[in-house]
Amino acid sequence: MSDLNNENKNMPEKNNETGKNLSGDSDKNNKPGMSRRTVVKALAGLPVLGLFGHQLLKKRNYDLEKREAIVKELGLDKIELPASNYGSGSNPGDLIRVGIIGYGSRAHSLARSLGFMHPDEVKSRNEQGTLKEWLDQEYLNVALTGICDVFDQHTENGLAVAENYIRPGGQNAPKLPVKSYRHYHEMLDDKDIDAVIIATPDHHHGQMTIDAAKAGKHIYCEKSVANTEDEINQLYSAVKNSGVVYQLGHQITQNVIYQQARELIKRDMLGKVTLVQTTSNRNTSHGAWVRHLNSQGNPKPGNAKSIDWKQWLGNAPYTPFSINRYYNWTLYFDYATGLIGQLYTHEFDAMNQILNLGIPKSVTSSGGIYFWKDGRDMADMLHIVSEYPERDLTLLYSGNLSSSRGRGRIIMGNDGSMEIGNNIMINADRNSSRYRKGIESGLIDPGSPMISYNPGAGQIDAVTSATERYYASRGLTTTTINGRRVDVTHLHLREWINCIRDGSTPSVNIDVAFDEGMACVMAHRAYVEKRVVQWDKVNKKIV
Amino acid sequence: MRETSFTKVQLSSLLLLRFLVGWHILYEGAAKVINPQWTSLDFLEESQWILSGFSNWIISNPNVLSAVDFLNTWGLVAIGLGIITGLFFKAAALAGALLIFIYYLNSPPLIGMEYALPSDGHNLVVDKNLIEVAALIILALFSTSKIFGLDAFISNFKRKDKLLNE
């Protein structure tokens, strides 16, 4: 540079018509100070910046105006959702002592959502840096004081979890002794247990719920409600007569977008809803409930000696000990209703919570075992058509275990359709009369979502990009509340615990569970009996 | 570069390139500032190739992720401003080249790498990120900011200092 400066020293100031170097010195003389022309040139970027600012404001105004216009046209400007008090740090209330019946993998997740984690998992999460997120989960003032399982190894696992004091609530959390029970009746007889979580295979749910209600224990029962109509009727009256708080393990609706979806539907954004489509596609052996091998391909532990097989069978038909049936019970109709009890029940609940569907008038099911020919009873291809003639509505479910293509969860009306994944997308129908004006004026593009609701942002976003649509299909394990990611199962358990304390009614209470249980039993019977199954509304009976 | 000497057209073209690239980067930043929903999570989730481990680490730490979001957003704004106004231009252009090269490395259009996010046009090995990186390096090497930029004031100030010291 110094050479350059020297070369330029004697150059006249205005010799730059023919050429310039880039040191910026060419049009300066050797005197300190800058000529006006040099200063003006130095400020060349400012007009560009000004133009940029102008365009930026224009673009922002355009976006805001468009959003406002759509929001206003749709009457969405007044949507107000109740603010969540989650994480407010308020006093959780009296201690509640919880026992878990059936400590398998689902119970393990439930314990985690309740605020209890196995020391090994604490260690690995600490290494991954994800422990803090869990420790920040709201402390529920719950003690896990009882574990019941028919397999020693599961019981020990549960005890290690319950006795681990690294948990939300920290060292101040009560350190109560944890008992193990070989039979759930012993747990139900124990005065030191206030509430139970039932996470056994499905064939126990009915009887256990009845017994727990009779013993006066509050109940959080994993889906399904029960496998038969009789059991549902019995457990319904047992719970109703006992006054205990019952919550069914359909955590999906704790996602805040469901409140939003309900609001949007109430505002008649979709027009007349006549078709609801829910689907579940999976394409892995684990997803198809082949679960007797561990991740290395070796058989999981357990044998006739370490597992109390008689108790595990319960009221199910006798069969000699089978490690396959023990781990893969969902595949057999002696213990479960297959896809219906595992996935359809969640899908039905999701739609029931938004649309208040209740029990369908009639149900047909079809499908079969087309891919997983391993001796299972469970259909790996299943279609369920539930009719609601009084509502002019059909609920269509389609499940498949040999393709992982996502097909979404869509509510269709004559003015628009709503897709619900981890956020909500509403598209106007191209032939809608309600939106005709908006479509003609270009305000609404039926080809892309007119409205999306993203719980993370807590606001309605009426102008979305194509990529947003893609993310709508993501899973539903967490939701966002007050800017925090929160586990939905944790919220579901929290709601149950809070209802036990203040006597209010949880979202998947016994009445909802009755409807959902019956809808699932109807679907199962339609599949097994290969006929149209009807609901007799007067006599409250499946016919 | 010592002997480089440019015609007006050449210089104007360099300046035009500078403004275009600066505008693009500034708006990338500004759009993120305006949109409170924006997060790099989705982009990083898609990360493949040599930076995927690093990206996963960022995603798995909410605090790191929000720090990365903040630095990225305001980094883009600062780089964009620097390039357009010509203030600390070389540093801004090189920082921009590095940042965009990191974007490139997270999702290079190499054979066998498929992304769920829609791509910007059809790309093979070379994409618009990579071209922007090259443009920024060229801009840094053929810096116009000492004539058409606030850096002129800085160099003028330095020269004054130098003359005074002589």
Residues A205 and A230 in one domain: yes
Long-range contacts of A309-314 (CB under 8 A, 24+ apart): A309/A150, A311/A150, A311/A182, A311/A183, A312/A150, A312/A201, A314/A203, A314/A204, A314/A207
Whole-number Cα distances in Å, B89 to A463, B26, B76, B96: 35, 14, 14, 10
Least confident of A39-53, A78-92, A307-321: A78-92
B112 touches A at CB < 8 Å: no
Contact A211, A184 (CB under 8 A): yes
Contact B22 A48 (CB under 8 A): yes
For residue A130, give the nearest of B60, B85, B150 by CB distance.
B60
Asked if the structure places residue A344 within a domain, the reply is: yes
Q: Give the mean model confidence (pLDDT) for residues A372-400.
A: 97
Distance CA A288, CA A410 (A): 24
Boundary residue ending a domain (A184, A219, A250): A250
Alpha-carbon torsion (A133, A136, A138, A140), positive or negative: positive
Residues A287 and A392 in one domain: yes
Least confident of A308-322, A376-390, B64-78: B64-78
The CATH number given to whatever domain includes residue A208 is: 3.40.50.720
pLDDT tens column, A197-228: 999 999 999 999 999 999 999 999 999 999 99
Asked if the structure places residue A301 within a domain, the reply is: yes
Contact B60 A48 (CB under 8 A): no
Provide the pLDDT confidence category of residue A467 given band limits of 50, 70 and 90.
very low
Distance CA A481, CA A47 (A): 43
Set of chain B residues whose Cβ sits within 8 Å of the Cβ of A24: 145-147, 151-152, 155
pLDDT tens column, A405-464: 888 899 999 999 999 877 788 899 999 998 888 888 877 888 888 877 766 544 444 444
Tell me the shortest Cα–Cα distance from B60 to chain A, in angstroms: 7
Terminal Cα-to-Cα distance of chain A (whole angstroms): 95
Whole-number Cα distances in Å, B23 to A52, A465, B12, B28, B54: 7, 21, 16, 9, 29
B2 touches A at CB < 8 Å: yes
Asked if the structure places residue A494 within a domain, the reply is: no
The one-letter amino acid code at A162 reads: A
For residue B146, give the nearest of A3, A23, A466 by CB distance.
A23
Contact A467 B117 (CB under 8 A): yes
Set of chain A residues whose Cβ sits within 8 Å of the Cβ of B117: 467, 470
> Which of B15, B139, B156, B166 should we substitute to test contact with A (largest number of A Cβ atoms within 10 Å)?
B156
Provide the pLDDT confidence category of residue A80 given band limits of 50, 70 and 90.
low
Contact B116 A28 (CB under 8 A): no
Residue A4 has pLDDT above 50, yes or no: no
B29 touches A at CB < 8 Å: no
Mean pLDDT of chain A: 86
Residue B32 has pLDDT above 60, yes or no: yes
Contact A195, A313 (CB under 8 A): no
Identify the closest residue of chain B to A485 by CA–CA distance. B62
Asked if the structure places residue A73 within a domain, the reply is: no
> What range does the domain containing A319 cover?
254-480+520-536
Asked if the structure places residue A374 within a domain, the reply is: yes
Distance CA A513, CA A231 (A): 12
Distance CA A514, CA A460 (A): 34
B36 touches A at CB < 8 Å: yes
Set of chain B residues whose Cβ sits within 8 Å of the Cβ of A23: 146, 155
Tell me the shortest Cα–Cα distance from A464 to chain B, in angstroms: 11
Residues A225 and A270 in one domain: no
Terminal Cα-to-Cα distance of chain B (whole angstroms): 26
Distance CA A312, CA A342 (A): 19
For residue A52, give the nearest of B7, B26, B42 by CB distance.
B26
Window B:115-134, CB contacts with A under 8 Å? 116-118
Set of chain B residues whose Cβ sits within 8 Å of the Cβ of A474: none
Residues A299 and A385 in one domain: yes
Set of chain A residues whose Cβ sits within 8 Å of the Cβ of B155: 23-25
Residue A106 has pLDDT above 80, yes or no: yes
Contact A501, A96 (CB under 8 A): yes
Q: Which is higher by pLDDT, B43 or B8?
A: B8
Contact A31, A16 (CB under 8 A): no
Asked if the structure places residue A59 within a domain, the reply is: no
Asked if the structure places residue A147 within a domain, the reply is: yes
Q: Give the mean model confidence (pLDDT) for residues A497-520.
A: 96
B5 touches A at CB < 8 Å: yes
For residue A45, give the nearest of B7, B11, B149 by CB distance.
B149
Of A84-98, A429-443, A448-462, A474-488, highest mean pLDDT: A429-443
* Complex ipTM: 0.83
Contact A187, A101 (CB under 8 A): yes
Residues A373 and A385 in one domain: yes
Q: What are phi and psi of A365, to 5 degrees?
A: -130, 145
Set of chain A residues whose Cβ sits within 8 Å of the Cβ of B148: 41-42, 44-45
3-state secondary structure of A460: strand
Residues A145 and A214 in one domain: yes
Distance CA A462, CA A455 (A): 14
B84 touches A at CB < 8 Å: yes
Residue A32 has pLDDT above 60, yes or no: no
Residues A238 and A295 in one domain: no
Residues A295 and A442 in one domain: yes
Residues A289 and A413 in one domain: yes
Residues A233 and A374 in one domain: no
Residues A471 and A369 in one domain: yes
b or e along B19-38 (b: 16 or more beta carbons within 10 Å of the residue's beta carbon)? bebbbbbbbbbbebeeeeeb
Residues A241 and A258 in one domain: no
pLDDT above 90: percentage of residues in chain A: 61
Boundary residue ending a domain (A232, A250, A268): A250
For residue B118, give the nearest of A18, A46, A466 by CB distance.
A466
Residue B121 has pLDDT above 90, yes or no: no
Identify the closest residue of chain A to B64 by CA–CA distance. A129
Contact A182, A308 (CB under 8 A): yes
Q: Residue A475: its pLDDT value, please?
A: 34
Of A2-16, A120-134, B36-50, highest mean pLDDT: A120-134
**Cα angle, residue A197 at apex, residues A191 and A202 outer, rounded to 5°:** 125
Provide the pLDDT confidence category of residue B55 given band limits of 50, 70 and 90.
confident
Boundary residue ending a domain (A200, A224, A250): A250
Q: Residue A476: its pLDDT value, please?
A: 42
User: Beta A195-198 vs A96-101: how paired, if at all?
Assistant: parallel
Tell me the shortest Cα–Cα distance from A45 to chain B, in angstroms: 4
The single residue listed with the structure tokens 């107000």 is A80
Q: Give the mean model confidence (pLDDT) for residues A37-49.
A: 88
Tell me the shortest Cα–Cα distance from A307 to chain B, in angstroms: 38
Contact A67, A435 (CB under 8 A): no
For residue A32, give the nearest of B4, B19, B160 by CB distance.
B160
Distance CA A271, CA A415 (A): 5
Identify the closest residue of chain A to B60 by CA–CA distance. A130
Provide the pLDDT confidence category of residue A103 given band limits of 50, 70 and 90.
very high
Q: What are phi and psi of A217, to 5 degrees?
A: -95, 135
User: Structurally, how many domains does chain A consist of?
Assistant: 2
The CATH number given to whatever domain includes residue A464 is: 3.30.360.10
Tell me the shortest Cα–Cα distance from B150 to chain A, in angstroms: 5
Identify the closest residue of chain A to B120 by CA–CA distance. A467
Contact A439, A432 (CB under 8 A): yes
Classify B38 in phi/psi space as left (phi over 0), alpha (psi -120 to 50) or beta: beta
Contact A100, A110 (CB under 8 A): yes
Asked if the structure places residue A345 within a domain, the reply is: yes
Q: Residue A471: its pLDDT value, please?
A: 34
3-state secondary structure of A379: coil
